[in-house]
Amino acid sequence: MRTFRSQLAFHWHENRKRLLYFGAIVLLLDLWVLAGYGVYEPENALALVMNNNFAAISIFILLITYITGANSFPLLMGLGSTRRQYYWSSLTYFAAFSVAISLAQTMLMAALKLLLPLLGFHLDNAVISYGAMWYSQSATYFLLAMLFFLASTLMYRFGIFWGFGLIAIYVFSLEALRTSNPTLIDATARTLVDILSPHFALAASAGIALICGWLYRSAEVKTSA
Amino acid sequence: MAMLSDDGRPIFQQVAEKMEDDIIEGRLPEQSQVPSTNQFAAFYRINPATAAKGVNLLVDQGILYKKRGIGMFVAEGARAAVLEKRKQQFYEQYVVAMVREAAKLGITTKQLVEMIMEGDA
Amino acid sequence: MLDYTLKCHQIYKKLGDTQAIHDAAVEFEPNAIHGLLGPSGAGKTTLLHLISGQLIPDQGAVTAGGHPVHENPGIVSRICFAKAIEQAWSEYRVQDIMKFCSLLHPDWDAGFAAEMLDRFRVPLKPKYKHLSQGSQSLLSIIKGLASRSPITLLDEPTLGLDAEKREAFYELLLSDYSEHPRTIILSTHLIDESADLFQYITLMQQGTIAAHCETDELAGQARYLQGSTEQLAPFLGDARILHQESLGSVTRLAWLGSIDHETYFREQGIEITPIPLQKLFVYLTRQEQQISEVLANENIS
C-alpha cells in the first residue's frame, strides 16, 4: 500500500508543472474563444468552450499517456517497481485525472452559465444536469486515456509501426461514427459524448485496460542505452 | 605506513605484515588498541573483509586478541613472538636466497662471510 | 525478508537472434562486494537486467533468499540497479530525479544523497540530458549508494569519470559499505583499479558464468613460472596456463592451479612468483582459455 501511494506521488510530482501550464493555456484559449467567437454566437458560447476544451484535453491526455507508456514505464522499472504496480498506479492516475478534469470543466460550465449572462451574452436556456455532465465527461476522457495508453503500450512493445497503426484505426473510426451535423463546431463537441453512452465508454475502457494489462505482463526494459 | 605493494602477494598477508612491522618498531605497543578493520580498509582502499582476514590471521597466531565490544588489542609478548617468527622467515627468505645467489656467482662461503662482515661495518 | 542471498538458477535469455545468456547459475554471498568481470559482450549488463527483474528469463529463475524476484514487490523494491546511462531520465531535472528516487526506494538516505551531490558538484537544475557523461555517472552512483538497498547493482559506474573522481567513488563505496553492509555487485572494465575492492569475483564468458570464487582463493592459486623453455617443458600445453610469453629462450607462464613439487622446481632455477591481481583478471577476461575447464581441475568455485 505504501508503495502504491509512492507511485501515485511519483505521477503527481511528475505532472504538476505540466498541469499548471496546461490549465493556464486552456483558460486563456477559452477567453479567446469567447471573446472572438462567443460574442457572435452567444447561444453556442458554452458549446464553443466545451469543444475547445475537449480538443485541448484530448491532446493533453495523448501527451501524458504517451509519456507514461514510453518513459515512465522504464523509469519506474528502473526504480524498483513491478509491472503490476506500474500498471495499476497508471490506471489510477488516468482515472483520477479524468475525473478531476471533468470536474474542473463542469465547474467552469456552471460558472460561465452564471457569469456570461451578466456580461451580456444571451445563452440558450437548456437545463444542464451537472452530475450527468461530470459523469459522461469522466467516462469519455478515461476512454480516451485508455485508447492512447494502448497505442503507447503497443508502440513501446512492438515498435512505432503498431502504435501508429492503431492511431490510424482510431481516427478512421471517429470519422465513420461522426454524426452528420451542419456546424462543424457542434459535431466535434458532441461526437463521442453523444454517441457513446457513458456506461458503454466505461465498459470499453475496462476492456482496453485488460488488453494493456496483458501486454504489460511480459514487457521488458530495453538493455542498451 | 606506506601503501600496499603490487607484487601479487595476498593482500590480507600484507595487512598482517604491516601490523607486525608496527609491533616490532614499537608503533603498536603491547596491550594497545589496533585500528579497526574498517579503518584499515579505508586507509589502504581495500575490501573490509580482506582487512579482517589479515587481522584474524594475527589473532589465530596469538599476536592480537579481541576484547568483546571494544576491539582488537596487541597481546602480551606479541613483540617477542613476531620477532621470533620473522627470524625464521629471515632465514628462509634472505639467507637461503643469498646462499643460492652466491653459489650462482661462484662466491665461496668464506668470501660470503667476509662480505657480511664488511657490510656490517 | 532478511536473507538476501541472490541466486541465479540455470538462466537462459535470448535477445533478438542471439542467445545472450545460457545456463547461467551463480550464488552471490550476501553482504559482500562482488566484482562482475568479463570481456565486453560477455553478457554482464544482460545478467544484471535479469537479476533486477527488468528482463524476464526465458528459462530458469532468479531468487533472493529463496523467493523468486520476478514481479515480487517486496524484493524488487530492494534491488537497486544503477546504470551508467539512464535513457528514461533524459527530460527530467536532477532535483526531480532525486525526488523520484526518494519516493520509490524504501531505504533512501536523502541526507547522504545531498552530501554526495554537493561533494561531486552535480548541479540540481539542468535536465539529465544536458549533463556531462561524468555527471550522469555520478548521479547513478548517488542513486546506487544512497538507496542503501540490500542488493545494489552497479553497471560500469565509472564511465566518463576522471581518475580523481574514480578514486573518490571507490573510497565512498568502501566506507559506505563498511558502515552499511549490503550485497553489492559491481560490473566494470577497469579491473586495474578495482581489483582490491572485491571479496568475490564472478567471471562471465560468452553468456555464461565461467567462474565464481573468493578473490583471495583465486589469487592464491595463480603463479608466474619463469625459466628457460626446456626447464618449463613439463608444464607446457597444460590447460592451466592462462598466458604464455617468450623472450629469446626464456619463457614465462601465467599458471592457475596447484604446482606439484614446487620446491623442486624452485631449486631447478625456475622462478615462481605470485601474479598481481590486476594482471590475473586481465588474463581471465582475455578469454584465452575456457576458464571453467581450468578451474574445474582445481576445485575452485
Per-residue pLDDT at B116 = 87
Banded model confidence at residue A125, pLDDT cuts 50, 70, 90: low
ipTM entry: 0.85
Q: What average pLDDT does the segment A62-90 reach? A: 91
Least confident of A53-67, B71-85, C73-87, C281-295: C281-295
Same domain assignment for residues B17 and B56: yes
Q: What angle do CA B65, B71, B74 make, to 5 degrees?
A: 40
Q: What average pLDDT does the segment B2-28 reach? A: 81
Nearest to C3 by CA among C31, C25, C24: C31
CB contact under 8 A, C174 and B45: yes
Nearest to A190 by CA among A174, A204, A170, A214: A174
Establish whether chain B is in contact with chain A, requiring a minimum of 3 CB pairs below 8 angstroms. no
Taking a C-beta distance cutoff of 8 angstroms, is the pair B64, B22 a contact? no
Banded model confidence at residue C297, pLDDT cuts 50, 70, 90: low
Point out which residues pair with C227 in neighbouring strands: C251
Same domain assignment for residues B59 and B86: no
In a domain, B6, yes or no: no
Same domain assignment for residues B29 and B66: yes
Other beta carbons within 10 angstroms of residue C60's beta carbon come to 17
- Tell me: pLDDT of C135 over 80: yes
In a domain, B113, yes or no: yes
| Chain C residues within 8 A of A71 when measuring between CB atoms | 88, 91
Same domain assignment for residues B73 and B97: no
Per-residue pLDDT at C298 = 56
Banded model confidence at residue A180, pLDDT cuts 50, 70, 90: very low
% residues pLDDT > 90 (chain C): 59
| Chain C residues within 8 A of B4 when measuring between CB atoms | 196
Same domain assignment for residues B85 and B70: no
DSSP helix/strand/coil, C18: strand
Q: Three-state SS across B46-94?
A: CCHHHHHHHHHHHHHCCCEEEECCCEEEECCCHHHHHHHHHHHHHHHHH
Same domain assignment for residues B51 and B71: yes
Least confident of A173-182, C129-138, C224-233, C245-254: A173-182
CB contact under 8 A, C216 and B47: no
Banded model confidence at residue C182, pLDDT cuts 50, 70, 90: very high
The enclosing H or E element of C159 equals none
Banded model confidence at residue A181, pLDDT cuts 50, 70, 90: very low
- Tell me: pLDDT of A195 over 60: no
- Rounded to whole angstroms, what are the CA distances from C19 to A176, B120, C23, C46, C273? 47, 68, 10, 11, 40
CA atoms A22, A27, A30, A36: torsion sign = negative
Banded model confidence at residue A101, pLDDT cuts 50, 70, 90: very high
The three three-digit cell numbers of residue C2, written as one number: 532478511
| Chain B residues within 8 A of C171 when measuring between CB atoms | 42, 45
Residues of C with CB under 8 A from a CB of B: 32-33, 167, 170-171, 174-175, 177-179, 196-199, 215-216, 219-220, 222, 273-279
CB contact under 8 A, C103 and A13: yes
The amino acid at C37: L
B3 and chain C in contact, CB less than 8 A: no
Residue C92: closest C-alpha in chain A: A14
Per-residue pLDDT at C211 = 87
- Which is more confident, C264 or C13? C13
Q: What average pLDDT does the segment B77-95 reach? A: 87
Average pLDDT, chain C: 88
CB contact under 8 A, B6 and C276: yes
- Which is more confident, C34 or C291? C34
The ranges assigned to domains in chain C are 6-214, 221-296
Same domain assignment for residues B91 and B116: yes
A89 and chain C in contact, CB less than 8 A: no
- Tell me: pLDDT of C99 over 90: yes
In a domain, B4, yes or no: no
Q: What average pLDDT does the segment A92-97 reach? A: 94
List the single residue in C199, C222, C273 with the smallest CB-CB distance to B47. Answer: C199
CB contact under 8 A, A75 and C100: yes
Instruction: Please give the tally of structural domains in chain B.
Output: 2
Q: Which chains touch C (3 or more CB pairs under 8 A)?
A: A, B
Banded model confidence at residue C177, pLDDT cuts 50, 70, 90: very high
Q: What average pLDDT does the segment B94-104 reach? A: 86
Per-residue pLDDT at A185 = 39
Per-residue pLDDT at C262 = 80
Same domain assignment for residues B73 and B29: yes
- Which is more confident, B48 or A218? B48
Same domain assignment for residues B72 and B25: yes
DSSP helix/strand/coil, C90: coil
Return d(Cα B11, Cα B17) in angstroms, integer.
10
Residue A3: closest C-alpha in chain C: C104
CB contact under 8 A, B11 and C178: no
Establish whether chain C is in contact with chain B, requiring a minimum of 3 CB pairs below 8 angstroms. yes
Under CATH, to which class is C6-214 assigned? alpha beta
In a domain, B5, yes or no: no
In a domain, B3, yes or no: no
| Chain C residues within 8 A of A225 when measuring between CB atoms | 83-85, 87
Residue A217: closest C-alpha in chain C: C71
Banded model confidence at residue B40, pLDDT cuts 50, 70, 90: confident
% residues pLDDT > 70 (chain C): 94
- Which is more confident, C55 or A201? C55
List the single residue in C175, C178, C216 with the smallest CB-CB distance to B10. Answer: C216
Nearest to A79 by CA among C140, C160, C158: C140
In a domain, B49, yes or no: yes
Query: C82 vs chain B: nearest CA distance in angstroms?
Result: 21
List the single residue in C46, C56, C88 with the smallest CB-CB distance to A78. Answer: C88
Least confident of A82-91, A209-218, C264-273: C264-273
Taking a C-beta distance cutoff of 8 angstroms, is the pair C88, C139 a contact? no
Residue C197: closest C-alpha in chain B: B47
Establish whether chain C is in contact with chain A, requiring a minimum of 3 CB pairs below 8 angstroms. yes
The pLDDT tens digits for A17-48 are 889 999 899 888 888 888 877 667 777 777 77
Q: Between residues 38 and 97 of chain B, which touch chain C (CB distance below 8 Å)? A: 38, 41-42, 44-50, 53
Q: Between residues 18 and 77 of chain C, which touch chain A (CB distance below 8 Å)? A: 45-46, 49, 53-56, 71-73, 76-77
Per-residue pLDDT at C189 = 78
Q: Which structural domain range is residue B110 located in?
A: 79-120
The three three-digit cell numbers of residue B113, written as one number: 662471510
Q: What average pLDDT does the segment B105-118 reach? A: 89
In a domain, B32, yes or no: yes
CB contact under 8 A, C149 and A80: yes
- Tell me: pLDDT of A79 over 90: yes
Per-residue pLDDT at C20 = 93
CB contact under 8 A, C274 and B8: yes
Taking a C-beta distance cutoff of 8 angstroms, is the pair B79, B23 a contact? yes
- Tell me: pLDDT of A179 over 70: no
Q: Three-state SS across chain A?
A: CHHHHHHHHHHHHHHHHHHHHHHHHHHHHHHHHHHHHHCCCHHHHHHHHHHHHHHHHHHHHHHHHHHHHHHHHHHHHCCCCCHHHHHHHHHHHHHHHHHHHHHHHHHHHHHHHHHHHHHCCCCCCCCCCHHHHHHHHHHHHHHHHHHHHHHHHHHHHHCHHHHHHHHHHHHHHHHHHCCCCCCHHHHHHHHHHHHCCHHHHHHHHHHHHHHHHHHHHCCCCCCCC
Taking a C-beta distance cutoff of 8 angstroms, is the pair B50, C219 a contact? no
Least confident of C125-129, C153-157, C259-263: C259-263
Per-residue pLDDT at C12 = 95
% residues pLDDT > 90 (chain B): 8
Q: How many CB pairs under 8 A join A and C?
A: 79
Per-residue pLDDT at C292 = 64
Per-residue pLDDT at B70 = 85
A74 and chain C in contact, CB less than 8 A: yes
Same domain assignment for residues B30 and B43: yes
Per-residue pLDDT at B2 = 47
Same domain assignment for residues B69 and B19: yes
The pLDDT tens digits for C184-199 are 999 987 777 888 899 9
Same domain assignment for residues B31 and B86: no
| Chain C residues within 8 A of A83 when measuring between CB atoms | 71
Query: A90 vs chain C: nearest CA distance in angstroms?
Result: 15
Q: What average pLDDT does the segment B60-72 reach? A: 88
The three three-digit cell numbers of residue C112, written as one number: 547522504
In a domain, B26, yes or no: yes
Residue B49: closest C-alpha in chain C: C199
pTM > 0.90:
no
Q: What average pLDDT does the segment B6-28 reach? A: 84
Other beta carbons within 10 angstroms of residue C202's beta carbon come to 25
- Tell me: pLDDT of C272 over 50: yes
Query: A219 vs chain C: nearest CA distance in angstroms?
Result: 8
Query: A158 vs chain C: nearest CA distance in angstroms?
Result: 13
- Tell me: pLDDT of C296 over 50: yes
Q: What average pLDDT does the segment B46-63 reach? A: 90
